Structure 1
Amino acid sequence: MASQGSINAADSTIVAGPTAQWSAKDNFLTATDEHGNSVDFSQVQTSGTVDAKTPGVYPITYTYTDSQGTPFTKTINVTVVASKEGVVTKDETLIAGPKTQWQSKDDFVSAADADGNAVDLSQVAVSANVDTNTPGKYVVTYTYTDKSGNAIPATAEVTVLKSKAAVVPQDSTLIAGPNTMWSSKDNIADLLDEYGNSIDTSQAMASGSVNPQKPGTYSVTYSYTDGQGNQVSNVATITVVASQGSLTTQTVNLVAGPQTQWYKQQNLKSATDEHGHPVNIDQITVTGTVNPHQAGTYPLTYSYTDGQGNTFTQPTEVIVSASKAKIQTMDETIVAGPQSRWSSYDNMVKATDEDGNPLSANQVMVTGRAHPSKVGTYTITYSYTDGQGNPITQPATVKVVQTQASISTTDSTLIAGPNTKWNPASNFAGAKDKDGNPVSYSSQISTNGGVDTEKPNTYLVTYSYQDEAGNTVSSTAKITVVASQG
């Protein structure tokens, strides 16, 4: 009768690993003796070995020999495969800040067991020490140990960066004035979030105030809290300065006259705007009127409002004075005569211009002429027009009169003889000059002719006198010399 002996074993696959184990019994299924009864594994011999830590295919032969000496064998393969265990992570960058949070799940992508099946994070060991408030680089280790003891770590790098949040202020200078305006948005140039990106500056809070009408130095603090809770701030300085606007006037003196003109520029000494730059006269308002043709004092008010609304006012005046132009003449009486002289400026005593300054003779026009050798009355007109167009006219009268010069003599009789004397003065009765004043006998009286006192005869002696005007008058005296009767 045939033996019912048998042996049966199965192939298997195990995952290599530090804790992987294999026993020959693992692949043994059954064995029977010659009667078909089960045989314990202890009666089975095996040949071959398995290195459970090293991937490979290992053949194992199982042998059972029944009591009749009949051997039964079965060879199987034990396949040792590499573990499919693995952890996948990702690096991450965070911005440090009070609100910044980090969890291990943030950088965990996936994990698989030895067979490649997904593993939950809860089965993964995590080693981390991430400080989200302190910038730096932090390494997080994720480790999963599979059933074969394979523990393959994976790391993720967590980079914690300092926030780039910033407030960029800008200082400014304002000129104080009623029209000067200020807004907090004026002094923030830029606002950056934690990533360094420019954002709407209205997200910043401003503390501090500025009085744009009052000179001074003002500080305004701008604050901003970024998305990670980091607060940044910066200070802008706003300097409010006094306006450099100014207005200075001066009194103007004019001389009234037809040609006198006045311009509002004349009373303006200087004017500057809020920046200290010169101001054109057209930007200045003048209140009041001036009549430059009529003497008087005219009050004026000059006003200027700068670009910030500051108004500057200055009073001034225009003094219009009467012209001092004047011609002073004198009348004159001239005795007609060959030696009388007259010049057109003889009768002008003094002449002045509108400011009272002396005029030279050639600045005055003379109309009319006197003839000093011809008796008559002559009118001479002196004229001058001053710088303001005021005409000045002054007449002078020149009278040319007949001379009053005269001379008179007396006749006389003498008795001839050695002792008889004759003096020309004896027959001089008197003389008058051109003005009728007496002239005594002197060298001014000339005689023509002589007397022989020893020779009886009738002698004619002519007496002559020439006045200052060159007029000559004469008179003849008769001197009779008679013989003695002794």
Structure 2
Amino acid sequence: MNVSGSYVLTYSKTDAAGNAATQVTRTVTVVDTTKPVISLTGNSTVTHEAATSFSDAGSTWTDSLDGNGSATVTGSVNVNVLGSYVLTYSKTDAAGNAATQVTRTVTVVDTTKPVISLTGNSTVTHEASTSYSDAGSTWVDAVDGNGSANVTGSVNVNVPGSYVLTYSKSDVAGNAATQVTRTVTVVDTTKPVISLTGNSTVTHEASTSYSDAGSTWVDAVDGNGSANVSGTVNVNVPGSYVLTYSKTDLVGNAATQVTRTVTVVDTTKPVITLTGDSAVTHEAATIYNDVGATWTDSLEGNGTIVAAGVVNAAVPGTYVLTYDFTDAAGNAADRITRTVTVVDTTKPVITLTGDSAVTHEAATSYTDGGSIWTDTLDGKGTLDTNGSVNPLLPGVYSLAFGVADAAGNVADEMTRTVTVVDTTSPVITLKGNATIHHRVWRPYLDPGASASDTLDGNLTNKISTTNPVDVSVPGTYEVSYAVSDAAGNAATVATRFVVVFNEAPSNLFLTNSAVEENLPSGALIGTFSTEDPDDSDGSKSYLYAKLSGNGLTVSTDGVLRTSDAFDFESSSSHEVVVRTTDEFGASLDKTFTISVIDASFPGVDTAPATGVTGTSSVLNGSIADAGDSQGVTERGFVLGRSPDPETSGGSTLAAGIGSGSFTGSATKLTPGRVYYFKAYARNAEGISYGSQERFTTSQDRSSALWSSATASGANWRSSDWFGSFYLTDTPWLYHGELGWLYSSGTSSSSVWLWTEALGWVWTGKGTFPYLYRNADFGWYHWNGTLKGRSLFYRYSDSQWIDFPLGGKAEAYK
């Protein structure tokens, strides 16, 4: 079928008997009449960019007999010339069958835009006010070639700023290039120049107005003008001042600063002007206060001047004062002077010491107060009168005073008039105190008074006395004394106050201040008595009252009793405040502390037990102190298996009442046990216990468990299964290696033992050294003792444990 030509097919058959049929043939002629089929690789129409290499994708053919392959192409494509180009693909197979031709149309087009490249930088900084020449740009196009690009925009070199120049190009096909720009920044970096107007150094007189000449600036862009000036010139303060001239153009270029130094100087001297006259007459001995002078200065202003020189107002004469002033710059003013003449024209002045008219009491010594003189220049002094006064002769006396100073100035005369008169009353003087305190009931004898008069002398026998004192009634009485002299002058009445007083009780006493506790209500404590300073023989009666105090009563006649039974443990004392009052109502309050006598617990002693057997013992005790007046109401013993049996559940054995020794019988005891007991006693205060005693009931040491042990010394035994041990009269035994053990429940083959290390353990013949521990229900094996420490193996956790003899168990290390 795949190869053209004639083919003969032969058909034959032989039957079962071997008979062969006559063969028949068929001739088959295979011919190829199918033309090949061409298929383009890629599109039948292609648009191709001009000026780029063209590579055709080609085509393929397939033939039913010949297979397949690449078709033959005719035609070409000129990539440099725009237009349409047809490529034809053909194929004829081996049988001469020509395939239907296939074509591809290739259209060469120009869509690539030109490319513009700047000549020079894309950003340019250009100094203002200088000519700008642009470097331009070029373009390249795949079809059109190359050239210079078109530029738009301009640069104004006189105006700083950013300017954009745009470069563009379109090729013949109308493809516009991507525009390229150059930014030209016109900058101003040239600083202005400043020039001074006038000199750079200037000397200027102080206090005159200063006008600066200024300066100018010139700038390449901004033009010119006047520069800025900083700094000031203080014409009122001499010194050097610097003025600084500066200018910054519009873009911030700062000119180099220029300075001018102005020196302010002071060369003008001050002017002095006197205040007041240049010639002055001044009164001697008066303070001279110079009115001074003033100065004025063109720079420093003005002020006052204190004169140089002194005016001694105490010495008449002529004095010259001078005035000078130099300003701060050293300019001295012209000196000015003033003449002061001191003169004395003032007469002395007399001043009386005391009044100019004096009334003087007759019969009294007269001493004149005199007078003093003062003079502005001579000073001062005292003057005596040239007259006299007779104080024993009533009448009018004139005393004159006069003086002249050293300069002859005469003082005005002064006089004093003294009138002697008798107006003095007699004087009464009390004998003794003006106030006398006198106890009630005691007789009163008044001490009296005396009287005297300046002219009449002693007037005592003329005194009139009024005495109302009543000593039986407490109170204040006024005794008065009066007298008058021959001239009718009555003395001031003298009085004496006699206070008849009742003094309050001074002390309060109690015969007893203690009471035993637990006594019934109404128990007598003591009786009160009063000490009173007015009651010298104790004959007065007094009332008593309780002001405060719980549990106590006080009768009006002073008996103190209890109203409650006191308890020392609640309070060891009680206070009572008692008042005693005398017959006039005067009283004294006093606080008493009533001590409560402690009725103590009984004192009881415990004596060792006697007659101890396996099941009984005699307990012994004695009363050392009953504790109170009511005695012991109960006594006996407490007995138990644990220490402090009174608190650990022990039993009580009563042993009657009263004091002295006592005993009690303890029966039904367990052999081989330790018992503890204390004697006790009870009274109204409570119960007390004696010291603790203990005893151990006896036990038969011939137990079958130990019978096989052999004696090895006093109470020492040696057992073939238990080792060496020491038996006591108690359940305690001492093992040679395990230390002290307490035995209980001993049978013929086993025993319970208590050890400090393990507590209660069980063992026996045939079991030891295995031990069953009651605390954890576990088995232990004793492995012996080494260097004072016993070693055990605990089966429950396979742990070795060791402990010192008599000590607590520890994990073996």
TM-score under structure 1 length normalisation: 0.39
TM-score under structure 2 length normalisation: 0.26
**Structure having greater relative contact order (Cα 8 Å, sep ≥ 6):** 1
